[in-house]
């Protein structure tokens, strides 16, 4: 009986904290979220692939060295990371004046978290897509694409 309860609790904890069926990615993603939450730049740097790719609306692409990235890291906000649920679209904010949505998918060998926002007041919005993938059998934060 006690073994059954313990096994159930372990399974429950694993299922609650895992995002995907990919254990290696789940471990990486938990480390990444914690590093961003704690603003641990050294850990973020270890979890990031260099050169890091920054792209503006797929028109211009810049490869950033570790030093350039650390001087101006392109990171998702902690709220975006915490609210991202795999294979779901989650409204972070919804009002008459603005909306914010986060999506989390797996597409073409990448885990992608996208963040979309729109302001009815300014009649403007934008998006950012954060890419995570395998580099030499290790998950890394690879690139970000942003735009209007």
Beta bridge partners of 56: 60, 146
What is the average per-residue pLDDT within 131-148?
A: 96
Q: Which two tokens stand for residue 68?
A: 């350039």
pLDDT higher at 11 or 56:
56
Minimum mean pLDDT among 5-9, 23-27, 69-73: which range? 5-9
pLDDT digits (tens, 9 = 90+) for 75-103: 999 889 999 999 999 998 888 889 999 99
Tell me the pLDDT band of 19, cut-offs 50, 70 and 90. low
3 state SS of 75: coil
Per the rule left: phi > 0, alpha: psi between -120 and 50, beta: everything else, 134 is beta
Structural domains in the chain, CATH included, are: 21-147 (3.10.450)
Tell me how many degrees the CA angle 68-60-144 measures, rounded to the nearest 5. Answer: 60
Contact (CB, 8 A) for 120 and 107: no
Question: What is the side-by-side order of every strand in the sheet holding 98-107?
Answer: 60-64, 48-56, 138-147, 124-135, 110-119, 98-107, 89-94
Alpha-helix residue ranges (DSSP H) falling in the chain: 2-17, 23-37, 41-46, 66-71, 78-83
- pTM for the predicted model, two decimal places: 0.83
Which DSSP letter does residue 72 get? Answer: S
Closest CA to 80 of 70, 90, 88, 72: 90
């Amino acid at each position: 009986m006690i073994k059954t309860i313990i096994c159930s609790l372990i399974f429950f904890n694993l299922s609650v904290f895992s995002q995907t069926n990919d254990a290696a990615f789940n471990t990486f993603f938990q480390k990444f979220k914690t590093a961003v939450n704690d603003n641990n730049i050294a850990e973020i740097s270890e979890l990031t692939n260099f050169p890091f790719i920054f792209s503006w609306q797929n028109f211009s692409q810049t490869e950033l060295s570790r030093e350039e990235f650390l001087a101006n890291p392109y990171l998702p906000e902690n709220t975006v990371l915490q609210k991202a649920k795999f294979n779901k679209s989650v409204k972070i904010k919804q009002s008459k004046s603005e909306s914010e949505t986060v999506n989390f998918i797996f597409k073409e060998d990448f885990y992608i978290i996208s963040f979309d926002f729109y302001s009815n007041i300014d009649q403007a919005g934008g998006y950012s897509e954060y890419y995570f993938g395998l580099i030499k059998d290790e998950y890394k934060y690879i690139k970000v694409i942003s735009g209007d």
